[in-house]
């Protein structure tokens, strides 16, 4: 029997989407995603364990391969290469033992889209109520918000580049919403 090729619904949608340099949509590669909850007293240790500091108030901290996104006073989204998932769990179990915390693997439920181009912010604003002007939502800013009827995590990765993370079950809806919002630009 032939080997079964697994593709996400976003990859299928990306193959049929019209190109649009003003707001290009690209499915993000699968990644390890963890929600970390811990007390402020453990944040320095958590940052050392993960290798990326824990940010404050709607900000992100990144290195070449990992990112930490602040989602609340004691809640962070940790993003890393998918192959590092097991090592991250092991490191946190050892590094934060004795400190109350919760590290939950949500990589199986999360999916993400990269939207980039000079019209990326206006396309997002078709369904997101946030002020995405770079003075109000600068590079590195992140938050949990909505896009249309879906909850998303929005992270500004560059002047004209955003990460839109959502639950896998909302992935097609979010993609199609963004694709329709950018259709006048194609």
pLDDT at 6 over 70: no
Q: Where are the beta strands (DSSP E) in the chain?
A: 24-27, 31-38, 60-62, 67-72, 75-81, 101-105, 110-116, 142-147, 150-158, 161-167
Q: Higher pLDDT residue, 17 or 139?
A: 139
Q: Which residue has the tokens 């080997």?
A: 3
Whether residue 13 has pLDDT greater than 50: yes
Mean pLDDT of 163-181: 96
Output the pLDDT for position 56: 84
**Contact (CB, 8 A) for 85 and 95:** no
- b/e map of 123-139 (b: 16 or more CB within 10 Å)? bbeebbebebeeeebee
Q: Under DSSP, is residue 181 helix (H, G, I), strand (E, B) or coil?
A: helix
- Reported as half-sphere exposure (CB side, CA atoms, 13 A), residue 5 has a value of 4
The contacts of residue 94 (CB under 8 Å, 6+ apart) are none
- pLDDT attached to residue 16: 84
pLDDT interval class at 142 (50, 70, 90):
very high
The domain 31-105 is classified under which CATH number: 2.170.120.40, 3.40.50.720, 3.30.70.1520, 3.30.450.20? 3.30.70.1520
- Residue identified by tokens 């963890």 is 34
Q: Domain 9-29+109-185, CATH 3.30.1360.120 — does that match?
A: yes
Query: Which pLDDT score is estimated for 3?
Result: 45
Tell me how far apart the alpha carbons of residues 28 and 111 are, in angstroms, rounded to a whole number: 7
What pLDDT, on a 0 to 100 scale, did the predictor assign at position 7? 55
Kindly report, residue by residue over 39-98, the tens digit of the pLDDT: 999 999 999 999 999 998 889 999 999 999 999 989 999 999 999 999 999 999 999 999
Q: Write down the pLDDT at residue 18.
A: 85
φ, ψ of residue 61 to 5 degrees: the values are -130, 130
Provide the 3-class DSSP secondary structure of residue 164: strand
* 64 close to 80: Cβ distance less than 8 angstroms: no
- Mean pLDDT score of the chain: 93
The HSE-up count of residue 3 (CA atoms within 13 Å, CB side) is: 3
Q: Which two tokens stand for residue 21?
A: 């340099």
33 or 57: which leads in pLDDT: 33
Q: Where in the chain is the domain with CATH 3.30.1360.120?
A: 9-29+109-185
Segment 145-161 shows an average pLDDT of: 98
- The mean pLDDT of 111-120, rounded to a whole number, is 97
Q: For 15-28, what is each residue's pLDDT tens digit? A: 888 889 999 999 99
- Listed in order, the ranges of the chain carrying CATH 3.30.70.1520 are 31-105
pTM, entire model = 0.91
């Amino acid at each position: 029997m032939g080997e079964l090729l697994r593709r996400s619904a976003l990859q299928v949608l990306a193959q049929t989407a019209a190109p649009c340099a003003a707001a290009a949509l690209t499915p993000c590669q699968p990644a390890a995603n963890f929600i970390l909850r811990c007390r402020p007293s453990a944040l320095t240790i958590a940052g050392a364990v993960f290798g990326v500091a824990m940010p404050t108030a709607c900000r992100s901290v990144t290195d070449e391969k990992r990112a930490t996104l602040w989602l609340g006073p004691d809640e962070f989204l940790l993003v890393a290469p998918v192959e590092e998932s097991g090592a991250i769990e092991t490191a946190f179990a050892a590094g934060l033992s004795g400190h109350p915390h919760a590290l939950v693997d949500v990589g199986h439920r999360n999916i993400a889209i990269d939207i980039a181009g000079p019209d990326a912010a206006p396309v997002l604003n078709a369904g997101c109520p946030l002020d995405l002007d770079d003075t109000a939502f600068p590079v590195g800013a992140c938050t949990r918000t909505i896009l249309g009827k879906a909850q998303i995590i929005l992270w500004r990765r560059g002047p004209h580049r955003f990460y839109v993370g959502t639950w896998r079950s909302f992935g097609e809806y979010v993609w199609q919403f963004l694709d329709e919002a950018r259709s006048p630009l194609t």
